[in-house]
Each structure stands twice: as C-alpha cells, then as structure tokens.
Chains A and B, each alone.
Chain A
Amino acid sequence: MDKTILVVDQDRALAENLKELIEFMDQPYVVTAVPTNWRQRIGERRLEAVFVGPDLSDQDVSGLLADLKIFDPNVPVVMMQGKS
C-alpha cells in the first residue's frame, strides 16, 4: 500500500492549497483539521510525512508529535512556517 501524506491544518484555505499541490504531485494524502483524530483518518495506511499547519496551538503540536512518536518516530514532520 502507498504511503500517505497527512496534513493537519486548521486553516482551510492553506490546507486546500497544500492539498492541490500534493494532488498535482500524485501523492496520496489525508487532510484533517483535528489533531487528535488522524489515527482514525489514516486507517491502515503508513505515513510518508506529516504536514503541520501554522495555526495549530503549541499544545496541539506537542500532542500530535507525542502521538506520532508512539505511532512511528521515523515519520518526517514538515512544519509550515512564515504565515502572516
């Protein structure tokens, strides 16, 4: 099964933008705005990378990374930066 890119982002426009780019690159993806439900969303799929939106609170980022550490600590995390 192909690995999936997970996008966790609360900014709908940014998530949409990223989704379009990932689609253009023919990569499978799952988008969620809720940082606690990604395990259910990805199902049995393995993760290629996790994109973390800039609007997530520090607490949400910490929680997400703690969950990821248990799931697979080798999964690369991409933090989106520089949003004004």
Chain B
Amino acid sequence: MLLGEAKQQFPWARIHSLAYPLRLDALGEVLEKIHALHGVVHDDDLRTGYGRLIGDSQEMQLVKHLVNKVASSPATVLITGESGTGKEIVARRIHDLSGRAGPFVAVNCGAIPEHLLESELFGHERGAFTGAVNARAGRFERAKGGTFFLDEIGDMPAVMQVKLLRVLEERVIERVGGAKSIPVDVRLVAATHRDLPRRIAEGRFREDLYYRLSVFPIEIAPLRERPGDIELLIDEFIRRSRDKQKVTLRFSDHAMRLLEQYAWPGNVRELANLIERLAVTRTNGVVNARDLPWPLAEKCDQLADVVDVVDTAPQTTPVALPADGIDLKLYLAEIERDMIECALSDANGVVQHAARRLGIGRTTLVEKIRRYKIKHPI
C-alpha cells in the first residue's frame, strides 16, 4: 500500500514513512519524530537531577540568573540557542522552579507533520474528521496548570502561527471540529535554534507572534564560547556514565586539552554523546588522546609529537580501585589490546614496525594479534 493511500484510508493514524534501503540516520530521524509526538515529560524525569543547569561561565551564570528571575512569573519565555545547547533543559528548569502544579508538556513543532499539528496541539472533537471516533484533548489541555514547551517554534507552519497567536492573545483554544472555547491555564515556553528576526524578514515567521513570545528572552551561548564549562560538563557526564554503565572514565591531560580546544558544533549534546560512547568502548576507563574519535583524533594526529610525550607520561589521575575490585588480568589485557591496535594503526599495519614501537618481538606481536582477534591492515 502506498503512503498516500494509507493516509487517505486511515486519516486517524499517525503514519510516517521510511525509505528502503534502510539507513541508520533515517531510522533515527523517524524515531526522533515519534518521540516528539509522544513528548510528554513526566515529573519522574525531572527528579533524576539530570535537569540541572551546568556551567560556571559568565554566560551560564546569566542564564541561571534569568531562569531564577522569570520562573515564578507567568511570563512567556523564548529560549534561543544553537542545536544541542540545552534549551529544553532550561525550559524544564523554569517549570521546576515555577511552583506550577501541572505537568511539563513538550512538543517539537518541527517534527510533527503539518496535518497533525493542529489536532495535536488543540485536540479534536468526535467526528471532526474521518476516523475521529472519540474526542481527544490536545497538548494545551494536557498541560493544564503546568508548562507547555513549544520546541523549534521557528519551524511552525504559517497557518498554525496564526492559531497560536490567538491562543496567546485570548488564552482560549478550540478543538478541531469543536465550536466551544476552552480556557487554558498554561505557562508557555518556546525555543528555537533559528534566527527569528531573519525569518520575519524572509516572511516565514509572524512578527506579531515573535513579540508575543519574546516577552522574556533567554539566549544560550554555544559551548565554544564558554570553554570553561567543558570540564564541569565532562565531570557531570562521567558521573552519569558511572551510574548508568558502571565505568569511571579518566581522561589523560592531553585528551582533556583536546576536548577543551574542540569547537563542539553539536554543543553539549555532542559532548554528552561522546562521553556515553567512550563509556561503552573504553571499558577500562582510561581515555588517551588517541582514543578520541574523528575529528578530535585528527587534531590529535596533527599534534602527534605532543601526544607521544604527554600520553606516555605517568597519569596524573590518582589510581583508585573500585569498591568491588577489578579483574586485573582482564583489565591489563584490555590495555594491551588497545596499545597493540594503536601501534598497528601508527605503523599502517606493518607488524615489524609496530612490534618495534611496542618493544616486543614480531612473533610475540603476531601471536597477540591472533589471541585478541585484532583486525589490521597488512
């Protein structure tokens, strides 16, 4: 059945498509859209402590100050910042400190298909369209007494911008297919990574809506503009990986310097993902400069001489034995395997050269490569 036919035949269904052949990024995009559609955040998520604002830079201190100042007021807040800077965390924090008893409800305006957005936000009455067998409350109603977070507001379709403006002006909604005005008691927080003044100039965003939304603007600086926060963020993400994956990561001084110098185009999200990935791949917890992925590793290669000096130097991190002990043989084997892989990579797969760098004989190295099932270019 073709997608168009399915949408026509089953108008009530939330139908997405995924192209064949399958690609991981395309699957990820579809799942992200689905998560956005089901984006109600429950209070439990907020009790994990992961919603804290981390950073001591002047930029983050200002954000924290503004959040504390605006939280208890009913003012509409517009949060701007690049993707991955943590706009939703700021929104959650505002809700957390607001004292509002209702839930925090989030919706990603850019992820919901245009034909579903109105019903998603405002709900629908029974019989509003084919397949609407039951009346259904929208997100505005579900956020009653709480905070409604409209993420990616810059991507909201023009027709919905008009409807949202009316809600902001009159504080009432109408369900799709309904004639009754329903009062809504929600605190609105919007966010976008878009340059809204530019989109207004391009005719893609309503100026009147922009002024309604930006009653209290908060801008989050990209991570590259507050490098002082990187270490604090790393500490926090290490703590989380210790809780979640039972691995305590320890970065060499040089690896840490590379992390601090990197531009982080994906901002805090990119850093968090990196630490999580390292916690999976570096089971012994030790992270040297060479263990960092591209493009950080590329920078590492450019500074190879420095790496050799720094990373072979004794670790400055104090050695601590986990309370439940370790399997020393396994731990040392992991380090040995990592060193062999590193040496083989440096030697472009030439075993003789790699063996020399490791200070062992060629036959010994070949035996170890077999034992560890290391794949290497020969």
Contact = CB atoms under 8 A, between A and B. Distances in A.
Interface string B149-171: 00000000000000000000000
B3 interface: yes
B6 A79 contact: yes
Contacts of A56: 1
Contact of B34 (A65, A76, A81): A76
Contacts of A24: 24
Contacts of B10: 65, 69
B14 interface: yes
A77 B14 contact: yes
A73 interface: yes
A49 B36 CA distance: 12
A18 B22 contact: yes
Question: How extensive is the interface on chain B, given as a class?
Answer: 20 to 34
Nearest to A57: B1
B20 A27 contact: no
Nearest to A74: B14
Given A80-B20, A81-B20, A25 B34 contact: no
B236 to A, nearest CB: 21
Given A61-B6, A76-B37, A21 B14 contact: no
B28 A77 contact: no
Contacts of B31: 25, 27, 49
B273 interface: no
Given A22-B27, A25-B28, A49-B34, A79 B22 contact: no
B22 to A, nearest CB: 5
B18 A77 contact: no
A54 B34 contact: no
A30 interface: no
Interface string B108-131: 000000000000000000000001
B61 interface: no
A69 B5 CA distance: 17
Interface residues of A, number: 30
A82 B3 CA distance: 10
B16 interface: yes
A76 B34 CA distance: 7
Interface in A1-42: 14, 17-18, 21-22, 24-25, 27
A12 to B, nearest CB: 14
Given A61-B1, A68-B13, A76-B14, A82 B20 contact: yes
B20 A58 contact: no
Given A17-B22, A48-B34, A61-B6, A81 B17 contact: yes
B37 A79 contact: no
A79 B1 contact: yes
A64 B13 CA distance: 12
A14 B34 contact: no
A80 B16 contact: no
A79 B3 contact: yes
A11 B131 CA distance: 30
A62 B131 CA distance: 13
Nearest to B2: A81
Interface in B1-43: 1-3, 5-6, 9-10, 12-22, 24, 27-28, 30-31, 33-34, 37-38
Interface of B: 1-3, 5-6, 9-10, 12-22, 24, 27-28, 30-31, 33-34, 37-38, 131
| List of 4 A-B pairs having minimum Cβ-Cβ separation, nearest first | A83-B20, A76-B14, A61-B1, A76-B34
7 contacts: A17-B22, A18-B27, A25-B31, A49-B30, A68-B13, A77-B15, A79-B3
